[in-house]
């Protein structure tokens, strides 16, 4: 089954609204002709409305980098899925390893956040992946199995196809140590098999990206593999030129 590739740029805590606007105006003409490739920018909250307005009608979607699981309430400093949706946002990164490690985002919270995002019409981009210690201990599959089981515990089997999953080995994020195509392919095939155990059809439809030190030089070697449906790109998404070259490498 053909799955359209998705290249998502995770800006993390970079770019003011003015910088975001300059970026999107430069990106849109670079990706306009790349039919069949989805593009998403995962931006800080303060950039989202302006980006969504500028990208409307283009192939570029705008994603947030986090959200709260409740629609509203006494949660100072938080933002909900319906708020993002009303701002024109199409998706949301959930479970990024930086949020898991530095902000205590738990599998329990993710089990509530993923269905909340779906209810609001947002595409959840769920990040999973093992630490270096877990890989060295031969625990990669156990970790992936646990994250997929717990984080997606609240999603009905037939809704799994609405998700995007990013396999992001923690040791590859921001380190320049990209996973080999074989490592990425193996982990992604394992994740797809876990999903297939719940719903074979949804497992064939869900897009599974690779993330971790993707750049314009290594992107083609990863993206040509049939199981890898795109990339979640951190550092290399901050410059329009390098991000646009990665998007171009995803064209099949």
Please state the closest distance from residue 239 (CB atom) to ligand PEP, in A: 12
Contact 208, 191 (CB under 8 A): yes
Please answer whether residues 151 and 107 qualify as being in contact, where contact means their C-beta atoms are separated by less than 8 angstroms.
yes
Q: Alpha carbon of 134 to those of 69, 131, 144, 152, 169: distances in Å?
A: 28, 5, 10, 21, 10
For 3, residues 6+ apart whose C-beta sits below 8 A from its C-beta are 205, 206, 207, 229
Which residue number, 124 or 212, has a Cβ lying nearer to ligand PEP? Answer: 212
Which of 148/171 has CB closer to ligand PEP?
A: 171
| Annotated catalytic residue within 61, 98, 130, 168 | 168
**Per-residue DSSP letter, 80:** B
Instruction: State in angstroms the smallest separation of the CB of 174 from ligand PEP.
Output: 4
Query: CB nearest ligand PEP: which residue?
Result: 234
Closer to ligand PEP at the Cβ: 238 or 248?
238
**In the complex, minimum distance from the CB of residue 12 to ligand PEP, in angstroms, rounded to a whole number:** 6
Contact 66, 89 (CB under 8 A): no
Per annotation, catalytic residue among 96, 98, 130, 162: 96
| CB atoms near residue 215 (< 10 Å) | 17
Q: Which is nearer to ligand PEP, 52 or 171 (CB)?
A: 171
Shortest spacing between CB 172 and ligand PEP, in angstroms: 6
CA–CA separation, 42 vs 40, rounded Å?
6
160 vs 184 by CB, closer to ligand PEP? 184
d(CA 224, CA 58): 25
Are 222 and 231 in contact, with CB atoms under 8 Å apart?
yes
Query: Nearest approach, Cβ of 18 to ligand PEP (angstroms)?
Result: 23
Q: Which residues lie near ligand PEP (CB under 6 A)? A: 10, 168, 173-174, 211-214, 232-236
Question: With helix as H, strand as E and coil as C, how does 163-185 read?
Answer: CEEEECCHHHCCCCCCCCHHHHH
- Beta strand 207-211 with 123-128: parallel, antiparallel or unpaired? unpaired
Question: Quick check: is 168 catalytic?
Answer: yes
65 or 85: CB nearest ligand PEP: 65
Active-site residue numbers?
A: 96, 168
């Amino acid at each position: 089954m053909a799955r359209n590739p998705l290249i998502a740029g995770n800006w993390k805590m970079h770019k003011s609204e003015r910088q975001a606007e300059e970026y999107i105006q430069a990106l849109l003409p670079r990706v306009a002709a790349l039919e069949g490739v989805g593009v998403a920018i995962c931006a800080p909250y303060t950039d989202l409305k302006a980006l969504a307005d500028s990208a409307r009608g283009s192939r570029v979607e705008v994603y947030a980098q986090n959200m709260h699981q409740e629609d509203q309430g006494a949660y100072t400093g938080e933002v909900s899925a319906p708020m993002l949706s009303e701002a024109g946002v199409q998706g949301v990164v959930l479970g990024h390893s930086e949020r898991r490690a530095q902000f205590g985002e738990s599998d329990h919270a993710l089990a509530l956040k993923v269905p909340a995002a779906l209810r609001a019409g947002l595409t959840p981009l769920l990040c999973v992946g093992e630490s270096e210690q877990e890989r060295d201990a031969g625990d990669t599959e156990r970790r992936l199995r646990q994250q997929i089981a717990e984080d997606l515990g609240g999603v009905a089997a037939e809704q799994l196809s609405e998700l995007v999953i990013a396999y992001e080995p923690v040791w590859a994020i921001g380190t320049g140590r990209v996973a080999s195509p074989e490592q990425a392919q193996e982990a992604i095939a394992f994740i797809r098999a876990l999903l297939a155990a719940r719903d074979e059809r949804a497992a064939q439809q869900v897009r599974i990206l690779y993330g971790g030190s993707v750049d314009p030089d290594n992107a083609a070697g990863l993206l040509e593999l049939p199981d890898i449906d795109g990339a979640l790109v951190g550092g290399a998404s901050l410059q329009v030129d390098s991000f646009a070259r990665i998007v171009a490498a995803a064209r099949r």
